[in-house]
Structures are given as structure tokens and as C-alpha cells.
Amino acid sequence: MSAATFFAMGGYAAYVWPAYGVSFAGLAGAVIWTLAAWRRTQAELALLESLKDGNP
């Protein structure tokens, strides 16, 4: 099967690829957002704990 045939998805490309695209964007976005929030919170906590230790 040639690349062109594959991408044409039997004529339904206008539906199949946006569906996959939206799903990928949504899931990738969720992963990035979730991990970013985790790192941000981790950093915040580390800062607060170091400040606490620095002031007995």
C-alpha cells in the first residue's frame, strides 16, 4: 500500500485523521499538563521545606 493510499483512508481521511489528531492532542496535552503541575508543586514544596529548615 502506497503512502498516498494510506493517508487517503479510503476517502475518509477528513474524518479519520482529525479524530486521531484530536485524540493525540488531548492525551498529549493531558500528559504535559499533569507532569508540569507535578514538577511545579514538587519545586514549590522543596522551596518551602528548605526555608523551614533554614529557620529553626
Partner 1 sequence: MLFELANPKRFLMFSGKLLPWFWAVAAICLAAGLYLGLFAVPPDYQQGDTVKIMFIHVPAAWVAMMAYGLMAVASAFGLINRHPLADVAAKAAAPLGALFTALALITGSLWGRPMWGTYWVWDARLTSFLILLFLYLGYIALWNAFDDEVRAARATAILALVGAVNLPIIKYSVEWWNTLHQGEGIFVKGGSLIAPVFLWPLFLMAVGYTFLFSALWMVRIRTEILARRARSLQLQAGGL
Give the footprint of partner 1 on this chain (CB under 8 A). 6, 9-12, 15-16, 18-20, 22-23, 26-27, 30-31, 34-35, 37-38, 41-42, 44-45, 48-49, 51-52, 55
For residue 49, the minimal CB distance to partner 1 (Å) is: 7
For residue 24, the minimal CB distance to partner 1 (Å) is: 9
DSSP 18-48: HHHHHHHHHHHHHHHHHHHHHHHHHHHHHHH
CB 9 within 8 A of CB 16: yes
CB 9 within 8 A of CB 17: yes
Minimum CB distance to partner 1 smaller for 4 or for 52: 52
